[in-house]
Every structure is written in C-alpha cells, then in structure tokens.
Amino acid sequence: MILEGADVRLNYFVRLRSLLTIGAHAGLDEEAREGRRLGDEALAQRIEQDGLEAFVNYWSSLPLFAGLERRGPSFVAQIRAERMGNTVAGLAASLRGMGAGVMEPLWSDIGRVDVPCTFVAGQLDHGYVASARRLAASVPNGRVEIVLRAGHAVHQERPDAFARVLAGHLAAAAGTSSGASNITSA
C-alpha cells in the first residue's frame, strides 16, 4: 500500500488520532516512478486484454502473496473469490490512477505527521520492511512492527499476530504503552 494510494493525504493528517499502515511506502523517486508507471500501464493493458481470471491467476502466483497458502485451501479459495469480485475496468483504472508510478512522493513532508504511527510489514516482504523502518524514522512518533513468518498480506497471513500489533498500536496511541519498535513472533 502506498500512503497516497489509500487516499491518505498530508492535508488530512491533522484530523487523525493515529496511523497504522501495512506494507506502505511514501512514494518513489522520479526515475523509479516513471518505470513503475510504464509497468503499471503494461499490466493494465494486460488485464484488459487477457481478462480478470488470467490476472487473478497471475496475482495469486506472486511471491508477495505466497504466505496465504499456509492458511489452507478454503482460505485461498475465499481470497480468490474476493479477487474475482473485482472488474477489469476497476483494476486497470486503479493501476493507472492510483499506482505508485503516478503518485507524488511524500517523503519530504512525512515528518509533519505528529500522531502515533505504526508501520507494519511482514518479515518476508523485504522491500516493505525497509520502507517501514524508513517511515518510522521519518515521523516524530513512529514505530515499526515486523511480523515474523509473514509476507505482504500480514493481516491475512497472520491475523493473530496482526491483532496483537493493532492492539499495541491502539494502546500506544491512547498513551498506555511504549512506542518502541517490536518484532512480533507469535
């Protein structure tokens, strides 16, 4: 998730009491953005050409989501059904309008976020682990939660561990817990 992609804009941060993200970053540099924009456009065209089922098959095979398999066949079927609930037009429009390639980076402004922030990443999602650490270091009240044995879909792969992370975030935001970074092992 990109902070902008969730329609979380810095203008609205003053209204937040706290912020928790899963697998987030604050944008790409210009060169990387252009490459990503081109890749997202190619993927949007592929979705439009090949259809929803082909895309869901591709999406489900990405290493980013491999941890979902550990939840068992019925859970994988449920996730697949949810993904099949998308539309070709919606997915293509999402890539073109909200993909990382079209979003302006927020790194230069992220330090203005002065609410308790928890940046969550799965241990196996290396790029987002690095991003979570960078985000937490960029805000005054940031903390990192790395969930062991999880990839990109932390909340789906390890709902038990994510529930503990969320409870810790809410406690910290309420001022009843330390804001220290943690690694969630259970």
With bands split at pLDDT 50, 70 and 90, how would you rate the model's confidence at 7? very low
The more confident residue out of 10 and 32 is 32
CA 4 to chain CA mean position, Å = 11
**In the prediction, which pLDDT does 10 show?**
52
Contact 173, 113 (CB under 8 A): no
User: What helix, strand, coil percent values describe the chain, rounded to 5?
Assistant: 60, 10, 30
Residue 127 DSSP SS3: helix
Say which residue, 138 or 7, is predicted with more confidence: 138
Q: Are 162 and 67 in contact (CB under 8 A)?
A: no
Across the chain, mean pLDDT equals 88
Average pLDDT over residues 7-15: 54
pLDDT at 51 over 80: yes
Task: Say how far apart CA 3 and CA 5 lie, in whole Å.
Answer: 5
The model's pLDDT over 146-160, given as tens digits with 9 standing for 90+, comes to 999 999 999 999 999
Backbone angles phi, psi at 115, to 5 degrees: -125, 160
Considering Cα of 90, then 37, then 56, then 127, what sign does the dihedral take?
negative
Amino acid at 129: V
Query: What distance in Å separates the CA atoms of residue 100 and residue 117, rounded to the nearest whole number?
Result: 21
Pairing of strands 117-122, 19-22: parallel
- Per-residue pLDDT reduced to its tens digit, 60-98: 998 888 889 889 999 999 999 999 999 999 999 999 999
- Supply the Cα-derived Rg of the chain in whole angstroms: 17
